[in-house]
Amino acid sequence: MSGCLYHPLPGTALEALFHQAPDKLQALLPTLTAFVRQLHRKKIYFRPLHTGTILPLPDGRFGLIAFLDLK
């Protein structure tokens, strides 16, 4: 068992954005694709990678939540 204390990231998960405003999510697809490719290029293995664990941040980057399963 492990635990983690962290400051929550500002933003809404992509999954919730899809339900609220599908058009907004479609506009993020090129940047999102580049983000996922960057993770793979850096050999970052993030098993729970899905739309519920990726947040678009106010500065235009993406953040990951539920990251304890990261290698």
Residue 56 lies in a domain: yes
Residue 55 banded pLDDT, cuts 50, 70, 90 = very high
d(CA 8, CA 17): 17
Tally of structural domains, the chain: 1
* Tens-digit pLDDT profile for residues 34-52: 999 999 999 988 888 899 9
Q: Domain containing 50: what range?
A: 14-69
Q: H/E element holding 54?
A: strand 54-56
CB atoms within 10 A of CB 65: 14
Displacement of CA 51 from its chain's centroid (Å): 7
| Residue 69 confidence (pLDDT) | 60
- Domain membership flag for residue 38: yes
How far is 62 from 40, CA to CA, in rounded Å? 15
